[in-house]
Chains A and B, each alone.
Chain A
Amino acid sequence: MQNESQESTTKAKDAVNPASPDSKVTVGRNGVAIAAHAPKEHKDYRTYEVYQRERVGQSTPKLRPGDLRSPAFMIDPYPFFETLREDYPCYRDWSSNGFWVSQYNDVTSIFADDANFETRSKLWFYNFPDYGRNLGHELPVLIARAKGFDQHTVPCMEEIIGGVSSGTNLGMDFAARLPLMILVRTLALPEDDFQFFAERYWRMQRGFLWDPVAQKAGRQAMDELSAYFDPLVEQRRADPGEDFISAIACLDVDGGPATGRDVTATLLEDDHETLHGALANMWALLLSHADQLEVVKSDQRMMKFAYLETLRHSAPVLFAQRFAQHEVERFGRLLPEGALVLCAAGAANRDPRVYADPDQFIVGRKDLCQREPRGQYRADGLAAGVAFGLGKPSIYPAIPEDRPPSRYALTRDTATTASTLLLEAFPKISLQTGAEVQLRCLRWGEMHTCWQLPVAV
């Protein structure tokens, strides 16, 4: 009996996947098999009936074509996001040839769904997918990275605090600088190379989008970084330290030992925006909401909540791009294979179905998840701010024994520690008189953050 039933299970699997050994079947955690790709044999054309369902002419008079790429959107996207979320939850944007998804549950459902929605790497956007290998998920690399952040946050922050005076621009001199300083030390680069590295790292991270001039500069920066890393990788393979490059150099991975290009590719795919953007946006919000700054001063533990609320209220990564792996019927529409889905984290984070008074910046709000989210970006039944840069909710325990803390935890702790040190050093910190706080994207698709934040101490 048992044998028979096993056989029939096997047969059923074959039936799902007729004669296509290439098509991958992944088994989800709840045991449901999901074909990674629809069988290709039946894709020649679609039936007339399929179109009948799609013949829904949606009119979207509340948004003009081009609104979502306008200068106004790059400064304050939230009115546009509200229109999307409340009126057109799955909006067909002809000018970007994509679908905007904007409600919290929809965005997080895509975010957690690798079987249906593909994330394309920054190297793919560079049209150079084989440039190098992203080794950022290898355990020794994760450990080196975590160790670097753990060791260097406080010393870097002390240096930064030493340079802060009245008139200092926290946007550039603190928020932009700190992640790069920590990174340089995590890579164990000579301090003299800081400027060389920082400029190229920045250009590389800004070059993968649509702008060809930036892309050219980015490609050049990548090549220069790779050439710079090549001898370092050799050197550290021979005489390894505890740093990030040594960890990559000593990896035993398919395709041979790591090269400078692999280090560059790994750094490229790493998230640089969340820490920078969260620090800048958090201080912009705290300094412009005196009552909330008082809340943070009253109790040191509130700094973490301020950080979490910042990621919700003013997410630096406004939206992320996903591509449908195959035809999916979701959100009341038929998303064709290959369709671009623009997941608006900025809209989801202000979804009134999930958060009360979503436009208010409330440190310690009761309806925000205060712990690392699980599943569909929730824990304890509470929603968390969607921050795409931090990756999907971790599948590992909150305090892992054999793994370093997750990226979520690492970024949160670094931001919290740094901000606490800053506030301790300058308890009377305030916005410089007459300064105006403005968040904006420098280029469409880039992070939405505060670039000018001059303070008085």
Chain B
Amino acid sequence: MPSFSLDALADAAESETQLSKKEFPLMPVGQAVDMGFTDDGVPLIDPRIFDSPEFFRNPYPYYRILRDHYPVFHDKLHNTYWVTRYEDITACYFDDEGFNTIPKGSSSGVLGNTQLELSGVEHRRRRNLYGQHLVGKSLENRIPAIERLAKEMIADWENLGEDVVQDKDGVRTVNIAAAFANEFPIRVVSEILGIPKDAQGQFFYWYNSMMAGLGGSATHQMGLEARQDLEDYISDIVEQRRVTPTYLYDNDGNPISKDIISKLCETKIDNDYLSTEEITSNIALVIGGGGETTRGAILNLWYLLLQHPDQFEAVMEDEANWDLAFHEMLRHSSSIGGQPRHNTHDVEMHGVKVPAGSLMEMVDFSANHDDRIFKDPETFNIFRDDLYAGKILRSGYNKDGKCSHMAFGVGPHLCPGAWISHQETVVGSKILAAHMKNPRINLDKMPKDIDGTSLAPIGLISVRDLWLDYDL
């Protein structure tokens, strides 16, 4: 009988099973776990890393490996092609028919049919139905309302409980997530939609449930129920507004414009009024899109600025720098990781053949840290000279030799809330800054990194709680 031993292989298999149970170790920020190398010294990527806590807090070294060695990474565990370079993502975003958005995404069940999932002409026809109310003149009209809401919320801090606001020895300690950022964007959205004040608390609950229900998660049912309740509620409002439109008012009580629901009620497409279902879905999207992202933007902006006191100083000295800080923050740490696309035809990118209909995940996070575009991408620098920070343009990905960040995407599916999100974050932050004297991060209350002393990195998830101290 020939000598034959599968024992070595069986032992190896045994240790593989152990590894699959094992969590990946948490690494110092900026360093990747060793997942093996090819003979040419190229690091390997174990797709289980994408599910790991390590990846959520420290994603950028892995994205760097993908960009440098696997610009289109076929992840067979998640049946996904990860596209990670800025130039490639830009090209795909502009070709919205070759890389379509048909609904295979997880949001459809909860948010309903929205333009996230339309392509081509269908998308172009609907895109501006509500988007037009969130830009330009109609946005300017709404800024006083945004300011008023921010001031109202801050004025109310006196009345909040110990779990959110604590005063001691002339120093106030406040969690600006719970006291401001979590709810502010939703209040703004419900205000401009024209949701009655008494329903705004309920509205906030629906929003939270819908967000929790995305992605086929365990709380999906909650999300669906919230969505159904929201739909019932909005349907009634829509029916009323069809007959009696309502208005937004400026600080002097003069009507500025109709609220968005009233505007949508009189909008026609294909010579026909929008159905209540269409209005509701788009409102669900406005709520979903306008809440979480702006919440994260405000918190990340303050977290990053206060960790770079010189830059915070510069912003305090010149209010115009808030815009630079806003865009650099979105480049450095935005709240939306990327967008799914499906290739309409068989394509080959970087030598990888992708059959038609595959999920190609455009990783905006990675594009924003692509050092082919942004020098020293892991550094937060609001004065960097390679980031376009002017007026947000659909085609503005490359102006004056500068590239825009990818947090709002680019091309036909550019975030329609980009402009209002910008205004909410900057206006809200200016009002916060005016209120708080000498603000600084309360280190005791904030989560720490693995070394136990430095602040935890933002990673893929925006800051959840942000405790600040300021002098009263």
Contacts and interface: CB of A to CB of B under 8 A. Distances in A.
B357 A336 contact: yes
B80 to A, nearest CB: 6
Interface in A331-347: 336-340
A55 B102 contact: no
Chain B interface bracket (under 10, 10 to 19, 20 to 34, 35 or more) = 35 or more
A56 B109 contact: yes
Contact of B118 (A45, A57, A324): A45
B108 A212 contact: no
A28 interface: no
A177 B119 contact: no
Nearest to B214: A94
Interface in A94-132: 94-98, 125, 127, 129
Given A45-B118, A340-B79, A64 B218 contact: yes
A210 B77 contact: yes
B6 A198 contact: yes
Point out which of B2, B45, B74 has the most chain A C-beta atoms below 10 A from its C-beta: B2
A97 B359 contact: yes
Given A65-B217, A198-B6, A125 B20 contact: no
Contact of A48 (B13, B45, B118, B355): B118
Given A55-B113, A199-B9, A323 B355 contact: yes
B220 A60 contact: yes
Contacts of A40: 345
A45 B13 contact: no
A44 B120 contact: yes
Contacts of A338: 342, 355-358
Interface string A191-222: 11011001100100000011111001000000
Contacts of A74: 17, 20
Contact of B45 (A98, A194, A212, A442): A212
A47 interface: yes
Interface string A317-330: 00000011000000
Interface string A16-58: 0000000000000000000000001001111110011011111
Contacts of B216: 60, 65, 92-95
Interface string A389-417: 00000000000000000000000000000
A194 B355 contact: no
Nearest to A51: B113
A280 B46 CA distance: 30
A324 B13 contact: no
A89 interface: no
A59 to B, nearest CB: 4
Contacts of A66: 51
Contacts of B345: 40, 43
A444 B221 CA distance: 28
A59 B221 contact: yes
A96 B123 contact: no
Given A65-B217, A442-B13, A96 B77 contact: yes
B16 A442 contact: yes
Contacts, number: 159
B400 interface: no
A54 B46 contact: no
B348 to A, nearest CB: 12
B357 A61 contact: no
Contacts of A240: none
Contact of B97 (A44, A52, A339): A44
A198 B78 CA distance: 30
A48 B277 CA distance: 12
A81 interface: no
A125 B353 CA distance: 11
Contact of B38 (A58, A163, A194, A216): A216
A342 to B, nearest CB: 9
A441 to B, nearest CB: 9
Given A61-B220, A92-B216, A45 B97 contact: yes
Contacts of B3: 194-195
Contact of B1 (A43, A45, A55, A159): A159
Point out which of B4, B104, B109, B221 has the most chain A C-beta atoms below 10 A from its C-beta: B4
Contacts of B10: 172, 451
Interface in B82-135: 97, 100, 102-104, 106, 108-110, 112-113, 117-123
Given A54-B103, A97-B78, A213 B2 contact: no
Point out which of B36, B104, B342 has the most chain A C-beta atoms below 10 A from its C-beta: B104
B35 interface: yes
B2 A51 contact: no
Contacts of A255: none
Point out which of A48, A192, A340, A443 has the most chain B C-beta atoms below 10 A from its C-beta: A48
A336 B13 contact: no
Interface in B45-71: 45-47, 51
A29 B329 CA distance: 62
A210 B218 contact: no
B218 to A, nearest CB: 6
A71 interface: yes
B36 A216 contact: yes
Contacts of A216: 36, 38, 44
A43 to B, nearest CB: 6
Contact of B120 (A45, A56, A194): A45
A162 interface: yes
B227 interface: yes
A60 B121 CA distance: 34
Interface in A153-211: 159-160, 162-163, 172, 176-177, 180, 191-192, 194-195, 198-199, 202, 209-211
A48 B20 contact: no
A95 B51 contact: yes
B122 A45 contact: yes
A430 B117 CA distance: 60
A216 B7 CA distance: 21
Contacts of B106: 94
B137 interface: no
B109 A58 contact: yes
A349 B1 CA distance: 38
A96 B109 CA distance: 18
B309 interface: no
Interface string A434-457: 000000101110000001000000
A331 to B, nearest CB: 16
A51 B108 contact: yes
A212 to B, nearest CB: 4
Interface in B1-29: 1-7, 9-10, 13-14, 16-17, 20-21
Interface of A: 40, 43-48, 51-52, 54-61, 64-66, 69, 71, 74, 92-98, 125, 127, 129, 159-160, 162-163, 172, 176-177, 180, 191-192, 194-195, 198-199, 202, 209-213, 216, 323-324, 336-340, 440, 442-444, 451
8 contacts: A55-B109, A57-B223, A59-B220, A59-B221, A95-B51, A127-B74, A324-B357, A339-B357
Given A191-B2, A442-B17, 18 more contacts: A44-B97, A45-B122, A48-B122, A57-B108, A57-B223, A64-B218, A65-B218, A96-B79, A97-B80, A163-B1, A210-B76, A211-B46, A216-B38, A336-B357, A337-B357, A338-B355, A440-B17, A443-B13
Interface of B: 1-7, 9-10, 13-14, 16-17, 20-21, 35-36, 38, 44-47, 51, 74-80, 97, 100, 102-104, 106, 108-110, 112-113, 117-123, 215-218, 220-221, 223-224, 227, 342, 344-345, 352-353, 355-359
